[in-house]
Structure 1
């Protein structure tokens, strides 16, 4: 091997590295656009069954079915956002009425009752809370600046919403648009395999996201009933937050439960702990655990088993690995990415025994 060949090889390697780094830099610069496309893809996958239903059963033409689907999507997100308006308005009115001493006294009373009931030492962080001048951490004069900052970013939010809806419209209108766009990266001889894999991924993820939406709706209804029964403030909004948190595997339900119990406690500050607060928290916790059992043994097996056709152990390991690699974001995207990897492996690596074993149900 002469020096010219070695130099040429080195130049090719350097060029490839520079090209990859340049591509990564470019993708980082347009990350907001990629996020818009990702949200639009999820909306299109969730909306595909409704578009198909409108075209097949109600004889809508393609464009009208897509427009109606996007209209329903906008109504759903608008309705969800409106749930939080009363909370924001109420909290805004109460900001100027906060009595730090009263809050400290209520928490001190609760702390004393808990320590007496369980015969434990008084919690030190409550004393620290009382002794701390919280107003030094919360400057009420900064609220107008925060509002101005929020309003200044409102235009960017509108641009993002318009972009997502615009992209979603064309993805729903032309179901082959995304496939054809990505097909340019496939070799000529692999185009058929690529199309089969992409079609399978789209069908599986469409069922998966629709299943997640159904899961959130079921949990939202059950949480709302539970919180309304025990008189938790802003029960509907709290139930919605807890249901959405449940989309984060394993960690989400824990955070949701802590949130529910915390808000149930703050809703009853000033009441007697042994006779009012503790029984109510116990009943709410039992109800929350029952709902989680319903979700774990009925909802999730139906979603994971039927929609993405994966064994629960596969799902657990995929979520664990993605969570370790990418944090909370990895927990959320683990199932869709693992499903896509399985389908692609089946099409391009089917000669391997492990691939045949993992993808035999696809």
Structure 2
């Protein structure tokens, strides 16, 4: 091997490395746009069954079906947003009418009752606040910065929402648009396999996201009934928050349960701990755990088994792996990514025994 060949090989390797680094840098710079595309893709996958229904059953033309689907999507998200208005309004009124001395007395009384009931040392809340140096963060100079941050964030949210809806419209209108965009990365001889895999992924993920929507609806209904029975303030909004938390596997229900217990405690602040607060928290916790059991042993196996054609153990291991690698975001995207990997493996690596075994039901 002569020196020219070696130099050419080194130059080619360095060029490829530089190209990869430039690509990663470019993707990092446009990460917000990639997020918009990802959200739009999810909306298009969730709205695809409705578009097909409107076109096939109600004879809508393609554009009208897409517009109607996006209108339903906007109305759904707007309704969810409006559910939180009563909580924000109520908290604003409470802040305006706040009585620091009364709240301090209520918290001190609750602290003392909890300590006496469980026979533990009383926790000095004032000392805890002093040790955390909370007061050093209460600087009036940060208020203008907070206002500016809010206004800039609000503008970014509006731009993001418009971008997502705009992209969603064209993804729903032309179902082949995303496939054709990604097809440029496939070799000519692999285009058929690529299209077949992408169509399969789209069908499976469409059913998966619709299944998640159904799961949230079922949990929202059960939580609402539970919170209405035990008098939790703003039960509909709290139930929706708890149901949305459930979209994060394993740790989501834990955070949702803690939030529910905190809200239930604060809504009964000032009442007797042993006769009012503790029994109510116990009943709410029991009801919450029963709903979780229903979700774990009925809802999730049905969604995962029928939508993405995967065994619950596969899903569990995939979620653990993605969660270990990417944290909470990995937990959320584990099932869609694992499904895509399975479908692609079936098309391009079907000669391997392990791929045949894992993709048997696809």
Query: TM-score normalized by structure 1?
Result: 0.96
Return the alpha-carbon distance in structure 2 between the equivalents of residues 140 and 242 of structure 1: 34
Residue 47 of structure 1: how far off its partner (Å):
0.2
Return the alpha-carbon distance in structure 1 between the equivalents of residues 229 and 130 of structure 2: 32
Matched residue, 2:48 = 48
Return the alpha-carbon distance in structure 2 between the equivalents of residues 140 and 88 of structure 1: 22
Matched residue, 1:170 = 170
After the TM superposition, which residues 257-268 of structure 1 pair with which residues of structure 2 at under 5 Å, given as runs? Answer: 257-268=257-268
Cα-to-partner distance string for 1:64-93 (whole Å, 9 max, x where unaligned): 000000000000011111111222222223
Return the alpha-carbon distance in structure 2 between the equivalents of residues 245 and 255 of structure 1: 7
Matched residue, 2:209 = 209
Matched residue, 2:352 = 352
Residue 252 of structure 1: how far off its partner (Å):
0.1
Matched residue, 1:149 = 149
Kindly tell me: are residues 144 and 269 of structure 1, through their superposed partners in 2, closer, same or farther at Cα, counting changes over 3 Å? farther
Cα-to-partner distance string for 1:208-260 (whole Å, 9 max, x where unaligned): 00000111111111111111211112222111111111000000000000000
Residue 193 of structure 1: how far off its partner (Å):
0.4
Matched residue, 1:306 = 306
Unaligned regions of 5+ residues in structure 2, if any?
none
Greater mean alpha carbon deviation, residues 154-163 or residues 47-56: 154-163
After the TM superposition, which residues 102-251 of structure 1 pair with which residues of structure 2 at under 5 Å, given as runs? Answer: 102-125=102-125, 128-129=128-129, 137-138=137-138, 143=143, 146-251=146-251
Return the alpha-carbon distance in structure 1 between the equivalents of residues 128 and 105 of structure 2: 13
Return the alpha-carbon distance in structure 1 between the equivalents of residues 238 and 140 of structure 2: 25
| Alpha carbons 1:111, 1:126 under 8 Å: kept | no
Matched residue, 1:278 = 278
Kindly tell me: are residues 361 and 341 of structure 1, through their superposed partners in 2, closer, same or farther at Cα, counting changes over 3 Å? same
Kindly tell me: are residues 94 and 188 of structure 1, through their superposed partners in 2, closer, same or farther at Cα, counting changes over 3 Å? same
Matched residue, 1:13 = 13
Return the alpha-carbon distance in structure 2 between the equivalents of residues 285 and 126 of structure 1: 29
Return the alpha-carbon distance in structure 2 between the equivalents of residues 144 and 98 of structure 1: 23
Return the alpha-carbon distance in structure 2 between the equivalents of residues 128 and 190 of structure 1: 63
Kindly tell me: are residues 151 and 116 of structure 1, through their superposed partners in 2, closer, same or farther at Cα, counting changes over 3 Å? same
Residue 135 of structure 1: how far off its partner (Å):
5.9
Number of aligned residues: 362
Kindly tell me: are residues 101 and 135 of structure 1, through their superposed partners in 2, closer, same or farther at Cα, counting changes over 3 Å? farther
Residue 56 of structure 1: how far off its partner (Å):
1.0
Kindly tell me: are residues 271 and 347 of structure 1, through their superposed partners in 2, closer, same or farther at Cα, counting changes over 3 Å? same
Matched residue, 1:58 = 58
| Alpha carbons 1:104, 1:129 under 8 Å: kept | no
